[in-house]
Structure formats: C-alpha cells, structure tokens
Amino acid sequence: MSKLQIIIANEVKNDVMAKSFWIATFVVPIVILAFGIFAGFMMQDANTFMSATNGMNAGPDPEEMTALKALGMMLGIFPVMFLMMYGTMVFNKVKTEKCNRIVEILATCVEGRTMMMAKIIAVGIVGLFQLALWMVLIIVFGVFFILVTGVGIPWDVFFNRDLWLAFMWAFLYFIGGYVFYASLYAAVGAMTDKNNENQGYITLLTLGILASFYIGEYAVDHASGAFIIACSFIPFTSSTVLTVTSAAKEAPLWLSLTGLAALYIFALLSVSLAGKIYTSSLLLKGKKLSPRDLVTFMKSK
C-alpha cells in the first residue's frame, strides 16, 4: 500500500470506530424528524407566519414544476448539506493535528500535499458511508411503512433513463465541488492553531456554500439566464447550480459538459494551491499569517 492509502485507511478506521460517529448516525435522523414534526405542529397555528408565507412568491410556479425540476432541487441541496457537515470536519482534523504537533513527525516521511489529500479523501469516504447508513434506515422504514399501509410502489420510475442521468450529473458535480471546497478547508486549518484567527476564512467559505444553495434554487426557473450561465463556470457556485439545471434537463449538453470540465480544472487548481499553503504553513506555530504570506506560499514549488 502507498503512503496515501495507509493514511486514508487509518483515518477512516479511526473515524468509523469512534463512538461519536455512531451516535451521530442514529441520533441525528431522530432529532431532524422530531424537529420537523415539532415545527409543523407549531406552524399550523401560526396565522401570521402562514399568511406571510402564502403571500410570498419566491418558490417556483407549481404549474411549471416538473418531477425533474423537483428532483434537481433536492439533489442541489445534497452537496450544500454535505459540505456544511464534513467541510468543517476536514478543517478540524488538520487544526487538531497541527495543535498536537503530531504533524512534525508525519512531515519527516510524508509530503504535505499527500497528508492533505488523505484528509480530504478520508472525510469524503466517512461522510458517504454515514449517508449510506442513513439511506438504509430510510429504506427499512419506507418498506415497513409500505407493508403496513399497503401503498403501491411505482416501479416504472426506477427504469426512467432521466432519473439515472440526473443522479449521474449530481455525483460528478458533487465530487468536483467537494474536492474544491475541502482543499480550501484543509488549507485554512493549516494556517494557524488559533480559532479566532481563521474564523474569517471559515465565514467566507460558509458564505460561498450558502450562496451556491440560494443561486441553485433560483436556477430552477432561470436556467437560461445570463447570471445562471455565468455561475455555472464559477467554482464556488457551479457544483450546485449545474446539479440543479442538468438534473432537471434545463441546461444544454454543452453547458453541462463545459461547466463540469471547468469545475474539475478549478478543483485541481484548488488542490495545488491549497497543497502549497498546507505544506508551507503546517509547521508554523503561533504565527498569524498575512495575505502576503499566503501569496508567498502559493508561489512556492
């Protein structure tokens, strides 16, 4: 096994064996379900909220809503939720490792870029594994509900070509968007060992993720607009925007393919630049890095 594979295997094993992983896996869905039930119960009597909601026209026109558009909206939420949950996990892993000074030992035998990629890949694997467990739980409860209620299952839906194309586009854009953002989270985690000094960078990354979500939802009914086409080539927003428009078949094939190629190019550039920052700043202790320092790191080999 290569050094990268060894580090990935060790990171994944430690995360999966941790009690916090299994607590989150089984407790978080229950908390989300309970919150949804509670919120629905409270809002049914909230006349002011309901009247304000009914007066808003922010959502898509129900008459123009199609099954593929609805699917595109749901798939567009996935990368945002994943990055919000697991992007900070990459950041915390790097910062914790730096504060414990374990990295000084690792740096003598492993390149900094290799350590960074191992963190990114390991967190991605752990996140997808946790999501797979949640899907299994959903399927189990769904089958139980169907058996109890006797509701019929529209099996023809699973043979729909457009459905699998939508999932294919979503997966390809998810990989590019995750690598782009996770490498930036890793670089920020390596910049300093003090939380208050890199909070500004974390805020900027969070705003970028939230912007991609809102722009992606806006793209449902404005896929052909110049603003949405421009956002399809901006790496901070393209993964969500293109997921929504491509899954809904609202984007032409040339835009889906060129946007995907641009996203992967930016992801590779992000890995390269973040790797330079990660390698150059990882061993610096107690130093607040200035923008000039970051530029110097990015110019390094």
What mean pLDDT comes out for the span 128-143? 81
Tokens of 67: 């099954």
Q: Please name the residue ranges forming H helices in the chain.
A: 3-17, 19-43, 47-54, 67-99, 103-106, 112-149, 161-191, 195-218, 226-231, 235-247, 253-281, 291-299
| Cα 215 from chain centroid (whole Å) | 15
CA torsion sign, 211 to 213 to 218 to 224? positive
Q: What distance in Å separates the CA atoms of residue 216 and residue 67, rounded to the nearest whole number?
A: 17
pLDDT at 187: 83
Two structure tokens written together for 277:
């920052």
Is the pLDDT score of 104 beyond 70?
Answer: no
Is residue 260 very low, low, confident or very high in pLDDT (cuts 50, 70, 90)? very high
Give per-residue pLDDT as tens, 263-280: 999 999 888 888 877 777
Residue that has been written with the tokens 């809904």 in this structure: 248
pTM: 0.81
- At residue 294 the predicted structure's pLDDT band, cuts being 50, 70 and 90, is low
- C-alpha–C-alpha distance, residues 165 and 179, integer Å: 22
Query: Where does the pLDDT of residue 56 fall: very low under 50, low under 70, confident under 90, or very high at 90 and above?
Result: very low
CB 31 within 8 A of CB 123: no
Q: What does the block give as tokens for 216?
A: 């992606």
- Rounded mean pLDDT, 61-65: 55
Residue 280 near residue 99 (C-beta atoms within 8 A) = no
Residue 16's nearest CA partner among 137, 132, 138 is: 132
Q: Are 267 and 235 in contact (CB under 8 A)?
A: yes
* Helix (H), strand (E) at residue 57: none
